[in-house]
Structure 1
Amino acid sequence: MSRSHSHNHTHSVKDLKGRNLIISIFLNILITVSQVIGGLISGSLALLSDALHNFSDVVSLIVSYIANRLSKKEASLQRTFGFKRAEILAAFINSATLIIVAILLIIEAVKRIQHPEPIQSNLVIWLALLGILANGFSVLLLKKDSQANMNMRSAYLHLLTDMLASVAVLVGGVLMQFYQIYWVDSLLTLAIAIYLIWMGFDLLKQSTKVLMLFTPDTIPVDQIVKQINAFAEIKSVHHIHVWQLNENEIHLEAHIDFNKNITLTQFDAILQDVEVLLLKKFKINHVNIQPEFGKDDPKDIIVQD
């Protein structure tokens, strides 16, 4: 009974994530269209840059939604892991687009600083308020899921930075309205761009490490070797690979050299103890061990395949 309940709860959570993403997509399409029209009419580069960022939000949210749907697909003979890495790939794409958009904004801001133009600040203020409200609502929708899922975190960061960008645009609109400080528009664009790079780089680095099969930062391989070697029956642990498949799965494969030629039943009992150790102390939930006795092969902890 408890297994069935857990399974249904997981599906309801995933369906809720998909629904929240769809709502956020439509809200960002509305903001993007409004800000493009408003930016062209008002002449505000900050508003157009916010619209460009919102457009990247639409793309990133669509990518996140597709990845979320793909991640539910079952494994097959052609795809033995299914699409479990789809959400990591989406996080990589989304973080990369954040940085690309930021670079484009910096280029445009520098051009505008060299050739400043008057701006209709009233329109800027109202559209910035629209951006704050719509993106703020989307941020609240995705905040909970962003804490445990890299894909949702990438979508959440897009929306959070865009909400903050809209706040900056609002401040700029007020300054232009009452003090005619038009250069603040370009300055805010630069600030938005730098913030995008700062927010996107860390997520890009994390997702790249997962895609490159790097050992997770939280996994001390030397400590794993030391604790497995502490088993009386084990002579050495070598040829270790540790990688993160997705947000929920960390895999380890290794060769274990035994002190004597044990039976398969004895190996199964030792393997179970090793799996419990790895799960409890290191959160490694997928273990593949190759047993050996007197085999002539490299005994280094890390061996280049």
Structure 2
Amino acid sequence: MSAHHHHHDHHHFAHVQGDRRLLLAIAVNLALTVAQAVAGIISGSLAMIADAVHNFSDAGALILAWAARRIARRPAHPGMSFGYGRAEIVAAFANYVALVLIALWLVWEGILRILAPQPVEGWIVVIVAGIALAVDATTAALTWRMARESVNVRAAFLHNLADALGSVGVMVAGGLILLFGWWVVDPIVTFGIAGYILWHAAVELGPVMRMLMLGAPPGLDPGEVREAMRSVEGVEDVHHLHLWQIDEHRTSLEAHVVQAPDAPPGLRRRIVEMLGQRFDIGHATLQMESREEACGEGAERGDAPGARGGAARS
């Protein structure tokens, strides 16, 4: 078997194993959601019901992550020349928006509970929250490795992580209600869960939005890239420079390059190789121009559309 086929088979096996782990995590979370909802209604615990709703969102997030992974693996075609990799970015965005909406709903429900207190059965809360914590830990173990490599799975993982901490909070609330009758702890814990969710969503949503808005990759300075291109022998100027991420692992560049009259052969190839080696830019589209063909000075900012004809692709 060739090295290429071995590499392909390894990736296929990893994808299949990842899909199976996600499906198992989905099944476990759906079962737990039903148990938590029933226990929350019986015990009268808002924090338990809130945890059940959030756990249901965990299952939904995992389903969305699983579907996006499968869509992202579809091959590119003329109508989708970059492929379907950004499906995972869209799924991550949807999951983070869902987290924000859930957190705001929890805050609203907590306020209502403070205004209209209800009795809470502490033992049911503690027992079911303990079971939920075990399930959350299992789900985290199933998705942790994939979450390090995929913003899509990481969004689903953070759903689960927030739910695990929510279960700990619910257990603390149930214990304090049992020991001291402090019913007010229930909505306070709910506020804590909501705050934690909002904080995580705020941290993670920015990079996802940046990819969707075709922003330059974080940590990659367009000015530095421009100067590196200008330093290549035979390059007189670089303008209409655009950097964006196709997905979280692939960066693209588009630019107009003005070449000197005495530029050595293979200039475009040398620029492309430099971009790949120094900045890990895997796809570069360069329009090579002479001095007479060069665009106006306004293109220097990179905010003008520029000409598209005659581009040379790597």
Q: Are residue 224 (structure 1) and residue 222 (structure 2) matched?
A: no
Q: Is the 8 A contact 2:133 2:164 kept in 1?
A: yes
> What amino acid maps onto 2:37 in structure 1?
V
Tell me the CA shift for residue 262 of structure 1: 5.9
Identity of matched residues, %: 31
- Aligned ranges for residues 133-172 of structure 1 at < 5 Å? 133-172=134-173
Tell me the CA shift for residue 44 of structure 1: 0.3
Counterpart for residue 283 of structure 2: 286
> What amino acid maps onto 2:267 in structure 1?
I
Whole-Å Cα distance in 2 between the matches of residues 105 and 261 of structure 1? 67
Q: Is the 8 A contact 2:235 2:263 kept in 1?
A: no
> What amino acid maps onto 1:283 in structure 2?
D
Counterpart for residue 268 of structure 2: 271
Tell me which moved more, 292-301 or 278-287. Answer: 292-301
Look up the SS of the partner of 2:247 in the other structure.
Answer: coil
Q: Is the 8 A contact 1:92 1:203 kept in 2?
A: no
Tell me the CA shift for residue 261 of structure 1: 7.0
Counterpart for residue 303 of structure 1: 303
- Aligned ranges for residues 194-273 of structure 1 at < 5 Å? 194-260=195-261, 266=265, 269-273=266-270
Look up the SS of the partner of 1:147 in the other structure.
Answer: helix
Tell me the CA shift for residue 82 of structure 1: 2.3
Tell me the CA shift for residue 296 of structure 1: 4.4
> What amino acid maps onto 2:204 in structure 1?
L
* Aligned positions, number: 301
Tell me the CA shift for residue 77 of structure 1: 2.5
Whole-Å Cα distance in 2 between the matches of residues 205 and 105 of structure 1? 22
CA displacement 1:188-235 (0-9 Å, x = unmatched): 000000000001112211111101101111111111111111122110
Counterpart for residue 95 of structure 2: 94
Structure 1 residues not aligned, in runs of 5+: none
Look up the SS of the partner of 1:213 in the other structure.
Answer: coil
Whole-Å Cα distance in 1 between the matches of residues 190 and 225 of structure 2? 48
Whole-Å Cα distance in 1 between the matches of residues 21 and 167 of structure 2? 21
Look up the SS of the partner of 2:215 in the other structure.
Answer: coil
Whole-Å Cα distance in 1 between the matches of residues 169 and 147 of structure 2? 24
Q: Is the 8 A contact 2:68 2:88 kept in 1?
A: yes
Tell me the CA shift for residue 60 of structure 1: 1.0
Look up the SS of the partner of 1:155 in the other structure.
Answer: helix
Whole-Å Cα distance in 1 between the matches of residues 294 and 248 of structure 2? 37
> What amino acid maps onto 1:273 in structure 2?
R
Look up the SS of the partner of 2:67 in the other structure.
Answer: helix
CA displacement 1:233-256 (0-9 Å, x = unmatched): 110011011000112210001000
- Aligned ranges for residues 186-197 of structure 1 at < 5 Å? 186-197=187-198
Tell me the CA shift for residue 273 of structure 1: 2.1
Look up the SS of the partner of 1:231 in the other structure.
Answer: coil
Whole-Å Cα distance in 2 between the matches of residues 270 and 3 of structure 1? 30
CA displacement 1:44-101 (0-9 Å, x = unmatched): 0000110111111111111111100101111122222221110000000001100100
Look up the SS of the partner of 1:117 in the other structure.
Answer: coil
Tell me the CA shift for residue 298 of structure 1: 2.2
> What amino acid maps onto 2:110 in structure 1?
A
> What amino acid maps onto 1:237 in structure 2?
V
Tell me which moved more, 149-158 or 279-288. Answer: 279-288
Tell me which moved more, 292-301 or 211-220. Answer: 292-301
CA displacement 1:84-142 (0-9 Å, x = unmatched): 11000000000110010000000000110111111111111111011101110110111
CA displacement 1:258-296 (0-9 Å, x = unmatched): 111769xx2xx2222222221222121111111000214
Whole-Å Cα distance in 1 between the matches of residues 100 and 209 of structure 2? 14
Look up the SS of the partner of 1:241 in the other structure.
Answer: strand
Whole-Å Cα distance in 2 between the matches of residues 167 and 37 of structure 1? 19
* RMSD value, Cα: 1.3
Whole-Å Cα distance in 2 between the matches of residues 276 and 177 of structure 1? 67
Counterpart for residue 42 of structure 1: 43
TM-score w.r.t. the length of structure 1 is: 0.95
Structure 2 residues not aligned, in runs of 5+: 306-314
Whole-Å Cα distance in 2 between the matches of residues 272 and 148 of structure 1? 31
Counterpart for residue 175 of structure 1: 176
